[in-house]
Amino acid sequence: MIGAAKALAKRFWPSLRLRTILFATLLFVAALPGFGAVFLRVYENSVVRQTEAELNAQGAVLASAYRAFWNGDRGDAEPLPDASPERPTIDLSIMPVLPAQPGAEPRPGAIEPRARAVAAMLQPIAADSARTTLAAIRILDRSGRVLIGRDDVGRSYARLPEVRAALAGGGVQTVLRRRDDYEARYWLEFLSRASAIRVHQARPVVVGGEVVGIVMLSRSPRGLFVGIYQDRGKIALGIGLIFTMLLILAGLLSRGIARPIEALGKATQDVARGPVTIPDTPVTAAIEIRALYENFGLMAARIDRRSRYLRDFAAAVSHEFKTPIAGIRGALELLEDHDEAMSPDERRRFLANATADADRLSLLLERLLHLARADMAVAPDDAAVPVEGPLRAVADAMRGPDFAISLDAEPGLPPAAAAAELIEAVLQILVENSRQAGAAAVAIAARGRDGRILVSVRDDGAGVPEGDREQVFEPFHTGRREQGGSGLGLSIARSLLASCGGTIANLPAARGACFEVDLPAANGPA
């Protein structure tokens, strides 16, 4: 079920630009107050509750006056109750709306003289209050009969639920009833529930613990659109300010997020097509976007360097392979064309040359495989190897009668953050290069410095020419091509060291060659 819904959503999901999503999100957030006012009745509920609060205040004053007139000058006025504010109870979302208020019913019998006297004194107060608040006011006696009203004096509302509950001592009763004279005046008025209702309240007048009368009030609250119309100036100003702020925020988000991402996407396409163009980091972009630009710049620069390296490497490989292949092809052509005229010694010489060229091809392929593995090598994160072990293993394995290797390791060296096999492979390459350069002695020394481990390999051989000090690390660069050198050993060593954060350098030396390997110490600075 969920999978089908996701598949359907993906099928019909529209393609949207980032700035469209940002603007739509801000617009939705800005529209939430209006949505809540119309559909969640937040504003309308507040308006109706305000009407109830006004009826509470008006009814409390009239009830107090009724109570005072009822007690008269006998000096037994009711003590003031403890202060307890009446909170509104109306909630349009859950409160039922009763039918329109029915008319009063006839009530036989005479009105109580005391109640009639109270009504006479209360009449001008009720009339003034009704003119000011536009509320319908009725004062009832203890039986529910109307003492003060419009055209229903002497009739009874005792059968109304709110009046019956108030007479029974149930406290103030507030209900919602439909308006029998309601007529819609606007086409959107159906959205307002308060337009067609009226707030009715029955407040008991209690003297000596006995209900002696009822203050009955009713009033129509302001409808939603009536309230909006009356506050149209403030609402229009608020909408204008919100929309202006919305445009400003959308512009800021566009300049800080959308535009930089679009520019970065275009730069990514350029990198994919070939030319590496690193865009400038926008100063208005967010911090995360600026960090993304910086990382993209580093990635693009590395891709560019890698591309140049691959082009140069391919050209060098092609050049290196042409010579032995040409030699093998030449030997085969000579053997094919002049086989009968060749002497056995000439045939052996040509075959020996072809075999030497084939061996060089095999060596080149083997070195290329080692270089590829070195480029793909990744050092383990938890590597911690004491350097004395790999140094001693290489010295013992490669030392010979005519080839001396001395070892000097500083006491207390920290472990290196590199695999033992990696350290051995690099040292084997350096020592083998010294042997092929005609050295008779090699000195290997290790010391620590600033959280790093420095391993130097010195020999007494022919050394490295000053002009080739940096070129010796380039693939296929060698001064011993006639002796079978491939020119890949130091490139492999450099790639191996790069996988663990190490480096290699060719240092000046008064005699022979000196290479220094810089290894990161475990838990030391990278």
Tens of pLDDT, residue by residue over 48-60, are: 888 899 999 999 9
Q: Give percent of the chain with pLDDT exceeding 70.
A: 78
Q: Cβ neighbours of residue 359 under 8 Å, at least 6 residues apart?
A: 484
The pLDDT value given to residue 140: 94
Conformational region of residue 160, where left means phi above 0, alpha means psi within -120 to 50, and beta covers everything else: beta
Q: Is the pLDDT of residue 484 over 50?
A: no
Q: Which residues make beta-bridge pairs with 174?
A: 201
Flag the least confident range among 10-19, 132-141, 217-226, 457-466: 10-19
The pLDDT value given to residue 189: 61
Q: Find, among 521, 289, 508, 511, the residue nearest to 384 by Cα.
A: 521
Q: Is the pLDDT of residue 147 over 90?
A: yes
Q: How far is CA 363 from CA 357, 379, 437, 467, in A?
A: 10, 26, 18, 26
The pLDDT value given to residue 17: 74
Q: Give percent of the chain with pLDDT exceeding 90.
A: 21
The pLDDT value given to residue 75: 44
Q: Is the pLDDT of residue 29 over 90?
A: no
Q: Cβ neighbours of residue 389 under 8 Å, at least 6 residues apart?
A: 420
pLDDT band at 483 (very low <50, low <70, confident <90, very high): very low
The pLDDT value given to residue 511: 84
Q: Is 98 helix (H, G, I), strand (E, B) or coil?
A: strand
> How far apart are alpha carbons 197 and 181 in whole angstroms?
10
Query: Regarding predicted confidence, which is higher, 67 or 363?
Result: 67
Q: Is 131 helix (H, G, I), strand (E, B) or coil?
A: helix
Position 321, amino acid: F
Q: How far is CA 214 from CA 55, 114, 139, 153, 170, in A?
A: 14, 14, 6, 14, 12
The mean pLDDT value of the chain amounts to: 79
Q: Is the pLDDT of residue 350 over 80?
A: no
pLDDT band at 248 (very low <50, low <70, confident <90, very high): confident
pLDDT band at 368 (very low <50, low <70, confident <90, very high): low
- Contact present, 220 and 200 (Cβ < 8 Å): no
pLDDT band at 213 (very low <50, low <70, confident <90, very high): very high
Position 37, amino acid: A
pTM value is 0.46
φ, ψ of residue 141 in degrees (nearest 5): -85, -170
The string of pLDDT tens digits covering residues 279-291 is 777 777 778 778 8
The pLDDT value given to residue 526: 44
